[in-house]
Amino acid sequence: MFIANAYAADAGAPMGGFEPLFMLAIFGLVFYFMILRPQNKRVKEHKSLVETLSKGDEVLTTGGLVGKIAKVADDSDYVVLSLNDNNQVTLKKDFVTAVLPKGSIQSL
């Protein structure tokens, strides 16, 4: 009396064979251009930065240390970073985030 009768809806049109493939291709392109391509570019830039490290460069590490490179070992992946006249730290080249302009340490 107070409840309306419920009827089943008509079946919709069946999904074609190319629509899911088309959507999957669009999703793949978005994934490539939004995630993979920028990440690969970042990795390539960091690799070139690590390869060009030389003695005397002022660098910033991922841990926040700022110092001058005292020694670069070509045969290994390590550099000796001079924090001041008394302290030196040995760290992997991969942990160098950026090369700072000359004189940055004096301005801090």
Each residue's pLDDT tens digit, 15-45:
667 888 899 999 999 999 999 999 999 999 9
The per-residue pLDDT for 49 is 94
Q: Cα(82)–Cα(49) distance, rounded to whole angstroms? A: 19
CATH number of 54-107: 2.30.30
Is 92 within 8 Å of 77 (Cβ atoms)? yes
| pLDDT, average across residues 57-73 | 94
Q: Is the pTM of this model over 0.95?
A: no
Structure-block tokens of residue 9: 């809806």
